[in-house]
Amino acid sequence: MVDISVSLGNINLPNPIIAASGTFGYGYEFSKYFNLNILGGISIKGTTLEPRFGNPTPRIAECYSGMINSVGMQNPGIKNVIGEQIPMLRKCFNNLILANIGGFSIGEFVACAKLVNECDDIGMLELNVSCPNLHADGENFGTSPEALKEVVKEVRKVLTKKPLYVKLTPNVTDIVKMAKICEEQGADGLSLINTLLGMRIDLATKKPIIANKMGGFSGKAIFPVALRAIYQVYQQVKIPIIGIGGVSSARDVIEMMLAGATAVQVGSQTLINPFAMKEIVANLPKVMAEYKINKIQDIIGGGH
């Protein structure tokens, strides 16, 4: 019998499969389709301090082996999420809940982190730094070393009861440098990677399909980019990595863990197949047996 359990620091998961933020809602919406407790964790929809309607439509564009989205973090605000959405999820899910937090100023990130810190049902904060800093001409927190350092440092000060994982953007020259900054400022782990920046143009209208012109590119096509980032970062930091980007099968999970991921999030594939994660969890022991892997935790970083 193979062992598919993993440990993210001091958090034990029954398996490494986590629902990625943004494509799984608040989780409970899927409880009518399958037992959510087969998942190691759920990263809930990106949350901000105040409610957000999000970006204008169209927000979605199809691509070869992927998609582009520019939803704009539509959400009801952190107080509603903690007061209503999380309790609804906890009724049907017993494992790790990650709060994916975004913000447009350090003050917003800190305010959200304070509320997350006091919520017993949230086990981890996933800091989404792919947000524009409105106090720095809109430059993303995750693309500025100085802004990244400051936001991680300030969130770490108030997040005293939960692990802090930083979700890094790949839209930088040196993602290893950004990962090291997070580790130096007290992050407990990293989530790699967020979406790439992409766009599509409608040939009939000769204009960008997305109203915001550009958006986050995700799906199977970005898997090699995510794998490379995880491999590079694993060599340079000592904190755990949650791998994200184009995962669609149990084989992808094993490949990402060999690159250095301890757990793996599944995102866009859920939009194609709502049962994708259920199938991956079911297939994982079979693929492990095929490659003579007895304990999945033992293969982390095995590709180095």
17 forms beta bridges with: 264
Q: Which of 63, 112, 119, 131 is catalytic?
A: 131
Query: Which strand (E) or helix (H) includes residue 100?
Result: strand 96-101
Q: Are 24 and 42 in contact (CB under 8 A)?
A: yes
- Give yes or no: 119 in active site: no
Q: Are 16 and 40 in contact (CB under 8 A)?
A: yes
- The set of residues, in sequence order, having a beta carbon less than 8 Å from that of 291 and lying 6+ positions away, is 254
Interstrand relation of 66-69 and 60-63 (parallel, antiparallel or unpaired): antiparallel
Token pair of 98 as six digits: 């990650």
3-state secondary structure at position 115:
helix
The bridge status of strand 196-198 relative to strand 263-266 is: unpaired
Tell me the catalytic residues: 131
